[in-house]
Amino acid sequence: MFRPIWLCVLVLFVKNLTWSSPGQLENRIVNGSNASIRTFSYHVGIEYNGTYLCGGSIVTPRKIVTASHCLIERPFVNLYKVRGATSIVSTGGLIFDVEEIRQHPLFNNKTYDFDVAVLILAVNLTLGPGIRVIPTQPKGVEIPDGYTCVVTGWGAAYWGGNLTKQLQVVTVPKYNTQRCAGFHDSNVTDNMVCFGYEEGGKDACNGDSGGPLVCNGYLGGIVSWGRECALPQKPGVYTKVSNMVDFIFKD
């Protein structure tokens, strides 16, 4: 089943999730481990109307990058908040108002092509412990097959699960794009990149949508979609950040 990786959470129910869609009632990125925001301090939570929605990444003191599918049918800018400097979902840390939302004009909500959005904060972040910028991968850079990157998030530990309280991290290798497209029976475009293991077992899941995939210190991907979570020969699909640099940093 196609999973978008954002969580539409009401109490503990999950709806229409792809890359970050939790499975049942559980707690994390699949087969990940506890992570500290001091280590992954570019990671933030995006909330809408007081409820956790998706992950995001700090790319400048004023800009948060996330997945465009997270914002579908959530048009009221004043209801968005960004929570940073905390390892615990929807708890503690610092909360920031959002001034503007920019979804990629070519975003396709059926194929998830161009699945990227930028939240412009009302004020610049003060960088420090728990709050820092992650550089984006340079324009046009391709990640080689087999190269390992790290994904962080508060998503479920299995398909259909609940959000994790503690931030999680997992390492996944780059998966060959052609094989990925064949296994998913869908159009994996040039704006997407796949990560995961042939045998499955480690993956992002429900609730991780919009969060960062970081490769050698650079934001290389945005959690976008997948088929359930951590299935064999069903790697996760991420927005390719190196194709989105112009949009992300447009004034």
Going from the C-alpha of 74 to that of each of 5, 9, 47, 96, 108, the distances in angstroms are 16, 13, 11, 18, 16
Among 147, 164, 156, residue whose Cα is nearest residue 214: 147
Confirm whether 184 is a catalytic residue.
no
- Provide the greatest CA pair distance for the chain: 45
In the prediction, which pLDDT does 80 show? 98
Q: State the pTM of this model.
A: 0.90
User: Does the annotation mark 104 as catalytic?
Assistant: no
Catalytic residue among 20, 90, 113, 115: 115
Q: Rounded to whole angstroms, what are the CA distances from 28 to 98, 154, 203?
A: 27, 6, 10
pLDDT at 17: 34
Which residue is catalytic, options 69, 90, 184, 224? 69
Burial call 170-185: b when 16+ CB within 10 Å, e when fewer: bebbbbebeebbebbe
What are the pLDDT digits (tens) for 147-176? 999 999 999 988 989 999 999 999 999 999
> Which one from 20, 68, 209, 242 is the annotated catalytic residue?
209
Q: Model confidence over 76-91: pLDDT tens digits? A: 999 999 999 999 999 9
Nearest to 224 by CA among 240, 209, 213: 209
> Active-site residue 186, yes or no?
no
Question: Coil, helix or strand for 182?
Answer: helix
For the stretch 31-76, pLDDT in tens is 999 999 999 999 999 999 999 999 999 999 999 999 999 999 999 9
Please tell me the predicted confidence (pLDDT) of residue 2. 54
Cα–Cα distance measured from residue 166 to residue 163, given in angstroms and rounded to the nearest whole number = 9
- pLDDT value of position 22: 25
**Band of residue 190 on the pLDDT scale cut at 50, 70, 90:** very high
Extended strands (E) in the chain: 2-3, 33-34, 43-48, 51-60, 63-66, 80-84, 94-103, 117-121, 148-153, 168-175, 192-195, 212-215, 218-227, 236-240
pLDDT at residue 4 in the model: 66
